[in-house]
């Protein structure tokens, strides 16, 4: 008992500090809630039918009737952006969920059991990371076919290494921890020890990774749609809407591309900020 | 440079004089009153030991001396003088001129204290170039000479070495060479032997003592190891929880400690004891310096002999100009 | 040192093999009949059979793999249905455009992000620190294709500062004589300043767009690394020895702080090569990225596989180069020898 010990703050006081220190966290939380609400209730919130085209209203600038303007087919852009939130969020969530479940399990098992299994899993993760990830996603979709499901699969695959590596590192550290030893001594099988005792402990650091990943998965999925993969017109999705609007930028009809792009940016921003806040809350040591 | 007293008193004026210094840190969980009315002095050619447990404020004090305190630190009272120069009033520029040239500092954990990716010869030359009017072609020679002065064998070859290629003891010698390269008048050694093996500890301290005596350098040696203080220091200052509790010449301190904490420290020191059971640990730990209700005597809660007068305020007893203690119920003289 | 370099090169081999294996699998993992894919949608059944035997798609997998590797060694990446040229030729002719864009973007990003990160660390908590953090957080959220379009609208349509995004050169200019394939260098070699300037103007927007995207990780890493170094023991020693601010900053802090930043470059290149594709589409840049996109849209698969393979190989080599560069700049690597 020696050096002046800064008392360990409680979870609640720490939460209070995180929120009050950084008002941006509150903004992030608000944005996140907004996006989830829009995604869940999109079709009911949209003022117009997102698919209804009216060529007499084509490429109308933002106005009171159409706050986001209209696209080349006269469809209301605000409605399309709102409805697109659901698809984009769904793509990102599915990809990350798939990636997390498979990656965390493989990684935890690899870190816990070691041996040849560890070598194979690590080799797979390394090989995925040997490519620029977006390029690999393109290749996977080219191979598997141009569908929405494959966008999810491709995005999930390129995210696997992050989860594998994190889970592996965390499981490795806890492999010979005290509580694990006592679980073994209590007669549990190795697999049971891994699943019931080690795995739950990995969840906090993985939660941070998940939220940070969400934004990136969204960017990837939208990027793939932008270059024409996965989503087909007339489906409203932010990436493809930006692609559809790109040609009108040079003639000055900026709203067709920029509003969907801004929506995408805000959503990704919210997820990234949330991830930062989560990390500050759970493990301030990781802060950069 | 502040105009100071006449030459007559310069000779007897201490090189370092800390008067009633108080310092606190503002942190998220409260204000830490790290130093409270601390006074000490070091004279020319003297080796003064500063001892106390980890957390007693020793390092905080020497960082404050050089103006290297953490950003959250605030001086709330007192003064520090280096040879008459008011260190608290000095500008950053003036302090930079003093550092290295007039005041040298040796840190603990020497391998971490040296630039890991720069050859030690170059690091020496950086300091030499900064503080001396030396021609570029002479720099290399001076650097090698510095290495030789701290008894590093084969200095020409060692010039090219990186810290990770040297032992802890050798790194500390390099640190000493760096600190003394400009012939400072004050040398501060913050736990210079922590982490080194016993033989190396003795060698390093011998080197410090030899260099200090050779140039009549005022030396402040900070350590938590009482035995080292006993063997190498002329005077010892004992600190506890940000207070100076006792100051005395070494021999007197160890033969007749007055403050209970000093007595307890000596009782807990292994040197010269027959067996480990004879060691008496000091009960409790340092008080939390963030408390609003810190008692006037910060040792009172661990003290085995408090009296009613202790609560009334910290009582300083000055025995001589170089000897005092702060206790209302001091240990009896043997 | 040589031994360490050889070890690093050996270490890159598994990744190289992995890239080749994965791209092989991708060409064979096509749903349905691979031969039909390579023959094209309008091919007759005889044409499909011809392609099947020509590409050896009726052989067992291991044999196919051997044939694939042999083809690679000879530089044979198949043929593009839409252009009729060999894929290797197409990629080779378009690679310089992509490289030029990527390199300029990297230089731009580094020249802004490094000072930004350093200043944010040195003046922690100041407005420049807040600005840097805003840039780093926003930077990783900005979709690169959105930024490109936004900049085009702002700087070309609204302000008229940037030229029309129609590729590497305005049609009134002809490309310089090919030496490296990088217009900026070739124009200088030909001492043709108007041509050089025209190339710069066309390059500006796409390079800035890509640079913005990778600005964030570099600035973030620099700031974090610099902060750690500034509070380290050896920087405190340097200050205690009286070394002046600039000396401490550059010789003691910066050089040490840059080491982790170099290792971040690997991830930066992944972002760069990935966003390259998107930027090439936005700005009609005639590089391998837009070639791949065009081929994808035309259901022409050989070029896409060739593109993925090329990018993969390029990335492995770039990472190897970073590893080798690190060997040179950090003397402590000798510790592992």
What burial class does residue B332 get, using C-beta atoms within 10 Å of its C-beta: 0-12 exposed, 13-18 middle, 19+ buried? exposed
Mean pLDDT of all residues belonging to chain B? 86
Which residue of C lies nearest to B108 if distances are taken between CA atoms? C233
Judge whether A203 is closer than 8 Å to chain C, CB to CB. no
B 279-298 → A contacts, CB under 8 A: 284-286, 288-290
* Chain A: touching chains (3 or more CB pairs < 8 Å): B, C
Angle between helices C2-28 and C301-329 in degrees, nearest 10 = 160
CB pairs under 8 A between B and C: 76
A139/C26 touch (CB, cutoff 8 Å), yes or no = yes
Distance from CA of B236 to the nearest CA of C (A): 24
Closest Cα to residue C256, out of C155, C330, C157, C179? C330
| Mean pLDDT, residues C115-126 taken together | 88
Read off the pLDDT of residues C190-246 as tens digits, 9 standing for 90 and up: 888 888 888 888 899 999 999 998 998 899 899 999 999 998 999 999 999 989 888
Judge whether A123 is closer than 8 Å to chain C, CB to CB. yes
Contacting B with CB below 8 Å, chain C residues are 232-234, 236-245, 247, 251-252, 255-256, 259, 330-332, 335
Per-residue pLDDT band at B273 (split at 50, 70, 90):
low
pLDDT of residue C182: 86
- Cis omega (within 30 of 0) on the bond before A87? no
| Mean pLDDT, residues C239-255 taken together | 89
pLDDT of residue B5: 40
End-to-end CA distance of chain C: 8
Q: Are B325 and B245 in contact (CB under 8 A)?
A: yes
Q: Is pLDDT above 90 for C181?
A: no
Order the strands of the B85-86 sheet from edge to edge.
B30-42, B16-27, B73-82, B85-86
Rounded to whole angstroms, what are the CA distances from B209 to A139, A233, B184, B199? 71, 84, 14, 16
Q: Are C221 and C117 in contact (CB under 8 A)?
A: yes
Rounded Cα distance between B37 and A239, Å, is: 67
Distance from CA of B171 to the nearest CA of C (A): 12
pLDDT of residue A64: 83
pLDDT of residue A21: 63
pLDDT of residue A15: 64
Closest Cα to residue B50, out of B235, B274, B192, B279? B235
Q: Provide φ and ψ at A43, rounded to 5°.
A: -55, -30
Contacting C with CB below 8 Å, chain B residues are 66, 68, 96-101, 104-105, 107, 109, 112-118, 126-127, 130-131, 162, 164, 175, 178-179, 182
Rounded to whole angstroms, what are the CA distances from C263 to B329, C222, C330? 62, 11, 11
* Chain C: touching chains (3 or more CB pairs < 8 Å): A, B
Partnered with residue B240 across adjacent β-strands are B243
Kindly list the residues from chain B whose CB atom is less than 8 angstroms away from the CB atom of residue A9.
29
* Better pLDDT: C238 or C297: C238
Q: Is pLDDT above 60 for B12?
A: yes
Question: What Rg, from alpha-carbon coordinates, does chain A have?
Answer: 23
Helix (H/G/I), strand (E/B), else coil: C242: coil
Rounded Cα distance between B25 and B31, Å, is: 6
Read off the pLDDT of residues B112-170 as tens digits, 9 standing for 90 and up: 999 999 999 999 999 999 988 788 888 899 999 989 988 898 999 999 999 999 998 99
Question: Which of A9-13, B245-249, C56-60 tops mean pLDDT?
Answer: B245-249
Judge whether A229 is closer than 8 Å to chain C, CB to CB. yes
Helix (H/G/I), strand (E/B), else coil: B223: strand
Read off the pLDDT of residues B86-110 as tens digits, 9 standing for 90 and up: 999 988 888 888 998 999 999 988 9
Judge whether A31 is closer than 8 Å to chain C, CB to CB. no
Read off the pLDDT of residues B172-227 as tens digits, 9 standing for 90 and up: 999 999 998 888 999 999 999 887 888 888 889 999 999 899 889 999 999 988 88
Helix (H/G/I), strand (E/B), else coil: B249: strand
CB-nearest to C15 from A127, A245, A265 is A127
C152/A250 touch (CB, cutoff 8 Å), yes or no = yes
Helix (H/G/I), strand (E/B), else coil: B86: strand
| Mean pLDDT, residues C303-320 taken together | 92
Cα dihedral A81, A87, A91, A96 sign: positive
Question: Which of A127-131, A209-213, B272-276, B287-291 tops mean pLDDT?
Answer: A127-131
| Mean pLDDT, residues B4-29 taken together | 75
Q: Is pLDDT above 90 for C55?
A: no
Q: Write down the residue that tokens 């124009």 correspond to.
A: C187
Q: Are A222 and A135 in contact (CB under 8 A)?
A: no
Rounded Cα distance between A192 and A197, Å, is: 8
pLDDT of residue C273: 93
Kindly list the residues from chain B whose CB atom is less than 8 angstroms away from the CB atom of residue C241.
99-100, 104-105, 127, 130, 178-179
A135/C307 touch (CB, cutoff 8 Å), yes or no = yes
Q: Is pLDDT above 80 for C1?
A: no
Q: Are B246 and B324 in contact (CB under 8 A)?
A: yes
Angle between helices A255-282 and A199-226 in degrees, nearest 10 = 170
Kindly list the residues from chain A whose CB atom is less than 8 angstroms away from the CB atom of residue C153.
249, 252, 254, 258
Rounded Cα distance between A22 and A34, Å, is: 19
List of residues 6+ apart from A186 with CB closer than 8 A: none
| Mean pLDDT, residues C107-111 taken together | 94
DSSP C34-47: HHHHHH-TT--HHH
Q: Is pLDDT above 50 for B333?
A: yes
C14/A229 touch (CB, cutoff 8 Å), yes or no = no
List of residues 6+ apart from B279 with CB closer than 8 A: B267, B268, B269, B270, B273
Long-range contacts of C78-82 (CB under 8 A, 24+ apart): C78/C38, C78/C302, C78/C303, C78/C305, C78/C306, C79/C302, C80/C295, C80/C300, C80/C302, C80/C303, C81/C38, C81/C40, C81/C298, C81/C300, C81/C302, C82/C294, C82/C295, C82/C298, C82/C300, C82/C303
End-to-end CA distance of chain A: 30
Q: Is pLDDT above 90 for C26?
A: no
Judge whether A249 is closer than 8 Å to chain C, CB to CB. yes
pLDDT of residue B329: 84
Pairing outcome for strands B218-223 and B47-51: parallel
pLDDT of residue A20: 61
Long-range contacts of B160-166 (CB under 8 A, 24+ apart): B160/B119, B160/B121, B161/B119, B161/B120, B161/B121, B162/B116, B162/B117, B162/B118, B162/B119, B162/B120, B162/C331, B162/C332, B163/B110, B163/B111, B163/B114, B163/B115, B163/B116, B163/B120, B164/B111, B164/B116, B164/C332, B164/C335, B166/B111, B166/B120
Model-level pTM?
0.83
Report CA dihedral (C131, C136, C140, C145) to the nearest 10 degrees: 50
CB-nearest to C143 from A123, A222, A288 is A222
Per-residue pLDDT band at B298 (split at 50, 70, 90):
confident
| Mean pLDDT, residues B60-85 taken together | 89
Q: Could you tell me the two tokens for B72?
A: 């959250």
What count of other Cβ atoms lies within 10 Å of the Cβ of residue A174? 20
Q: Could you tell me the two tokens for B206?
A: 């011998």
What count of other Cβ atoms lies within 10 Å of the Cβ of residue C134? 11
**pLDDT one digit per residue (tens) for chain A, 288 residues:** 433 344 455 566 666 665 666 677 788 888 888 888 888 888 888 888 888 888 887 888 888 888 888 888 888 888 899 999 999 999 999 999 999 999 999 998 888 888 899 999 999 999 999 999 999 999 998 888 888 899 999 999 999 999 999 889 888 888 777 777 888 788 778 778 777 777 787 887 788 888 888 988 999 999 999 998 878 888 899 999 999 998 888 888 888 899 999 999 999 988 888 887 887 777 655 444
Read off the pLDDT of residues B18-56 as tens digits, 9 standing for 90 and up: 999 999 998 888 888 899 899 999 999 999 999 988 888
C124, C129, C234: best to mutate for the B interface, most B CBs within 10 A:
C234
pLDDT of residue B11: 56
Report CA dihedral (C164, C168, C171, C177) to the nearest 10 degrees: 160
What count of other Cβ atoms lies within 10 Å of the Cβ of residue C319? 21
């Amino acid at each position: 008992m020696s050096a002046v010990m800064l008392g360990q703050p409680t979870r609640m006081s720490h939460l209070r500090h995180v929120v009050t220190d950084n008002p941006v966290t509150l903004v992030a939380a608000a944005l996140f809630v907004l996006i989830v609400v829009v995604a869940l209730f999109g079709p009911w919130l949209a003022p117009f039918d997102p698919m209804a085209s009216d060529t007499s209203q084509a490429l109308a600038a933002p106005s009171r009737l159409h706050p986001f303007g209209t696209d080349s087919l006269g469809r209301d852009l605000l409605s399309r952006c709102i409805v697109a939130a659901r698809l984009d969020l769904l793509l990102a969530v599915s990809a990350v969920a798939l990636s997390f479940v498979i990656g965390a399990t493989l990684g935890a098992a690899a870190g816990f059991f070691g041996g040849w299994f560890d070598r194979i899993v690590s080799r797979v993760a390394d090989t995925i990371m040997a490519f620029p990830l977006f390029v690999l996603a393109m290749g996977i979709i080219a191979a598997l076919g141009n569908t929405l499901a494959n966008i999810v699969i491709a995005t999930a695959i390129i995210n696997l290494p992050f989860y594998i590596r994190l889970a592996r590192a965390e499981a490795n550290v806890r492999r010979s921890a005290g509580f694990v030893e006592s679980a073994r001594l209590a007669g549990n099988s190795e697999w049971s020890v891994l699943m019931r005792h080690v795995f739950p402990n990995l969840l906090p650091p993985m939660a941070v990774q998940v939220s940070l990943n969400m934004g990136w998965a969204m960017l990837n999925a939208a990027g793939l749609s932008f270059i024409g993969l996965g989503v087909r017109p007339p489906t409203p999705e932010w990436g493809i809407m930006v692609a559809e609007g790109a040609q009108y930028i040079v003639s000055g009809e900026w709203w067709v591309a920029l509003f969907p792009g801004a929506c995408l940016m805000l959503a990704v921003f919210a997820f990234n900020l949330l991830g930062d806040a989560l990390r500050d809350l759970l493990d301030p040591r990781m802060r950069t | 440079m502040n105009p100071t007293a006449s030459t007559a008193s310069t000779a007897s004026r201490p090189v370092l004089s800390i008067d009633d210094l108080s310092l606190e840190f503002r942190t998220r969980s409260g204000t830490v009153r790290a130093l409270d009315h601390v006074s000490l002095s070091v004279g020319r050619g003297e080796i003064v030991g500063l001892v106390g447990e980890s957390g007693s404020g020793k390092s905080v004090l020497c960082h404050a001396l050089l103006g290297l305190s953490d950003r959250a630190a605030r001086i709330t009272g007192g003064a520090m003088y280096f040879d008459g120069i008011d260190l608290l009033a000095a500008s950053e520029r003036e302090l930079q001129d003093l550092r290295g040239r007039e005041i040298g500092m040796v840190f603990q954990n020497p391998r971490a204290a040296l630039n890991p990716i720069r050859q030690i010869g170059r690091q020496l030359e950086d300091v030499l170039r900064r503080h001396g009017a030396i021609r570029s072609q002479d720099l290399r020679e001076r650097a090698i000479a510095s290495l030789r002065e701290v008894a590093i064998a084969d200095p020409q070859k060692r010039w090219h070495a990186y810290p990770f290629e040297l032992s802890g003891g050798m790194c500390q010698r390099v640190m000493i060479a760096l600190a003394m390269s400009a012939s400072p008048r004050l040398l501060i050694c913050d736990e210079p032997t922590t982490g080194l093996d016993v033989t190396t500890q003795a060698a390093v301290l011998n080197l410090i003592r030899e260099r200090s005596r050779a140039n009549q350098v005022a030396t402040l040696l900070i350590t938590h190891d009482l035995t080292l203080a006993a063997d190498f220091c002329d005077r010892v200052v004992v600190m506890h929880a940000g207070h100076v509790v006792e100051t005395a010449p070494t021999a007197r301190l160890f033969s007749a400690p007055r403050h209970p904490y000093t007595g307890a420290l000596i009782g807990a020191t292994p040197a010269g004891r027959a067996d480990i059971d004879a060691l008496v640990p000091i009960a409790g730990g340092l008080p939390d310096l963030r408390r609003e209700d810190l008692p006037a005597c910060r040792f009172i809660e661990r003290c085995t002999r408090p009296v009613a007068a202790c609560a009334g305020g910290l009582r300083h007893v000055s025995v001589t100009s170089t000897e005092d203690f702060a206790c209302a119920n001091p240990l009896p003289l043997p | 040192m040589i031994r360490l370099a050889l070890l690093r090169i050996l270490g890159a081999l598994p990744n190289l093999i992995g890239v080749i294996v994965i791209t092989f699998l991708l060409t064979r993992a096509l749903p349905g009949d691979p031969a039909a894919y390579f023959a094209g949608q309008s091919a007759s059944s005889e044409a499909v059979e011809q392609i099947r035997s020509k590409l050896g798609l009726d052989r067992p997998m291991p044999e196919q793999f051997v044939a694939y590797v042999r083809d690679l060694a000879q530089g044979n990446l198949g043929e593009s249905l839409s252009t009729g040229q060999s894929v290797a030729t197409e990629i080779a002719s378009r690679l310089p455009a992509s490289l030029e864009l990527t390199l300029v973007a990297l230089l731009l990003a580094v020249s802004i992000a490094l000072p930004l990160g350093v200043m944010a660390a040195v003046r922690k908590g100041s407005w420049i620190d807040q600005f840097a953090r805003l840039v780093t957080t926003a930077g990783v959220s900005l979709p690169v294709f959105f930024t490109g379009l936004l900049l085009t609208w702002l700087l070309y349509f609204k302000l008229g500062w940037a030229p029309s995004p129609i590729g590497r050169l305005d049609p009134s200019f002809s490309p310089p004589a090919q030496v490296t394939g990088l217009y900026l260098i070739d124009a200088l070699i030909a001492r043709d300043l108007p041509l050089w300037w025209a190339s710069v103007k066309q390059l500006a927007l796409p390079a800035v767009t890509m640079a913005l995207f990778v600005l964030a990780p570099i600035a973030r890493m620099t700031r974090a690394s610099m902060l750690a170094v500034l509070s380290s023991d050896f920087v405190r020693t340097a200050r205690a020895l009286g070394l002046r601010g600039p000396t401490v900053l550059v010789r003691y802090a910066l050089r040490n702080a840059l080491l982790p930043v170099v290792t971040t470059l690997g991830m930066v290149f992944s972002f760069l090569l990935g966003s390259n594709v998107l930027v090439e589409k936005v700005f009609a840049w005639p590089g391998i990225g837009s070639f791949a996109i065009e081929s994808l849209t035309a259901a022409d698969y050989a070029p896409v596989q060739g593109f993925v393979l090329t990018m993969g190989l390029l990335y492995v080599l770039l990472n190897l180069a970073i590893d080798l560069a690190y060997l040179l700049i950090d003397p402590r690597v000798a510790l592992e020898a």
